[in-house]
Amino acid sequence: MLMKKGILLVLLCVFVQVVKAQVQTIEIASLDTIAEKDFLLIDVRTPEEFAEGHIPGAINIDVKNEDFTEKIATISKEEAVYLYCKSGGRSTKATTILSSLGYENITNLSGGFEAWKTDDKIYMKDL
């Protein structure tokens, strides 16, 4: 009986943490029309992909790198964080990681950088 209560308590804590996080998904094409201008834009692709082209103002934190969680930990959990990758898979994974770490305002930009380029949006390349 005590084991069941312990499991229920753990599940309740996980549920509260998930509910607390505000995770949303929006089309990447609508990024430049966001009313909330105070947010951190994170490109979760590899540094090589980032150098080939990225959205102006984005920082690169590779979700596949073993130090991803360590680098993310330097960001305030209350800050609005927008995530994108090439097409949406890795940013969805990163969204899940941030949510599990207690980040409260996370937005996944669906379609990723490929959709951004297809929509003829401005992007930067590193030389």
Known active-site residue 85: yes
Report the distance separating Cα 38 and Cα 8, nearest Å: 38
For residue 94, give both structure tokens: 């990163």
21, 42, 44, 85: which one is catalytic? 85
- What is the secondary structure of 14-49 as a DSSP string? HHHHHHHSEEEEEEGGGGGG-S----EEEE-S-HHH
* CA proximity to 96, closest of 84, 109, 108: 108
CB-based contact 93:15 (threshold 8 Å): no
Catalytic residue ranges: 85
